[in-house]
Amino acid sequence: MHSTVVPFGRTTDGHEVQLFTLTNKNGLRATITNYGGTLTSLLVPDKNGQLGDVVLGFDNVSGYQSPEYLKSGPYFGALIGRFGNRIAKGKFTLDGQEYSLVTNNGPNSLHGGSKGFDKVVWQAEPGTSADGQTLTLTYHSQDGEEGYPGNLEVKVVYTLTNDDALRIEYTATTDQATPINLTNHAYFNLGLGQLPDVLGHQVTLHADRYTVVDDTAIPTGELRPVQGTPFDFTAPHAIGERIAQVPGGYDHNWVLNQGQQPIAKVVEPTTCRVMEVLTDEPGVQFYTGNFLDGSLTGKEGVVYGKNAGFCLETQHFPDSPNQPSFPNTILQPGQTYQSTTEYRFSVQQ
């Protein structure tokens, strides 16, 4: 069995892009476009063995470039870089030199700037491995792109494994010291097409602390215990159970307990779909689609309203280049950045 490739349309600057479909031995299918390295659909079975698409997205590349989409900026399924999440005031100092980034989220820089890795065309090479079908994406990020120093060579490998997981492996090298924090911004709804929101999904997060943020979503530096708060998902809770107690909804970084895998488990009670997340990253941004407002219509005419999907963006902590107490995000010449995240799917018996 081989992966397939079909045209996916043309970017606004004239590049033709493709859609690649990976299929495993159990019939699960993942489709990825080389525009933004975007995961556009992911078909996994429910309790009756019926395949259903569990990620938000569009049927062609024009959906990811529409004025409505660009204005709201949800980053459906995209690869995020050079730096996932926010950098305060779009500035950081490295080796005594201050760098100014593009600010695109109030006063801050978000997800790599105005043209991050989510909006570039990647080189794509389908293949196979011992674990399943693969898609290898590569991108050369030039020195100075969006304000970041150094020429960065990035490789991302998607593998749809034969044991029903979507694995994403990131590697990168640089010729100058530079911050890096790569992730994927898929929005999941394990009952998509049947459930308009994810508020009934049961979530477990193996994290005893989270990063407290200011009113522009920049960490204050405090790692606060989750115990006794609406941020405590160390035991399963429905997303909607306490979301009203969190102004604006969940959009925070959880500090993962080291040595515990999987780091997260999500169960959707009506379809009995289960998703587990494994990662070697120290944090995860749990986001509940708070800014979706019904202005976007996705695949098969589904309208994406508030809380239509949730994200589990595995990552280093936001604003790490400005926070010396956080885990390091500076990649040096001669080093190789490596990170792996896996989304495993099953059915609750």
322 annotated as ligand-binding: no
Establish whether 186 is an annotated binding residue.
yes
Provide the H-helix boundaries in the chain. Answer: 67-72
26 is in an annotated binding site: no
Q: Is 111 a catalytic residue?
A: no
Closest by alpha carbon to 254, among 279, 271, 273, 274?
A: 279
Is residue 131 marked as binding? no
Q: DSSP 3-state assignment of 202?
A: strand
Q: Is 217 annotated as a binding residue?
A: no
Reported as type and span, the H/E element at residue 38 is: strand 38-45
| Residue of 145, 146, 281, 313 marked catalytic | 313
Instruction: Report the distance separating Cα 255 and Cα 283, nearest Å.
Output: 5
Catalytic residue, from 111, 145, 146, 185: name it.
185
- Cα(183)–Cα(79) distance, rounded to whole angstroms? 6
313 as an active site residue: the answer is yes
Residues 6+ apart with CB under 8 A from 121: 11, 15, 17, 34, 35
Instruction: Count the Cβ atoms, other than its own, within 10 Å of residue 123.
Output: 11
| b/e sequence 293-317, b meaning 16+ C-beta within 10 Å | eeebebbeebebeebbbbbbbbbbb
State yes or no: 158 annotated in a binding site. Answer: no
Output the CA–CA distances (angstroms, integers) from residue 167 to 104, 154, 296, in the order listed: 29, 17, 28
**Residue numbering of the annotated binding site for beta-D-galactose:** 85-86, 185-187, 251
Q: Which residues are catalytic?
A: 185, 313
**Residue numbering of the annotated binding site:** 85-86, 185-187, 251
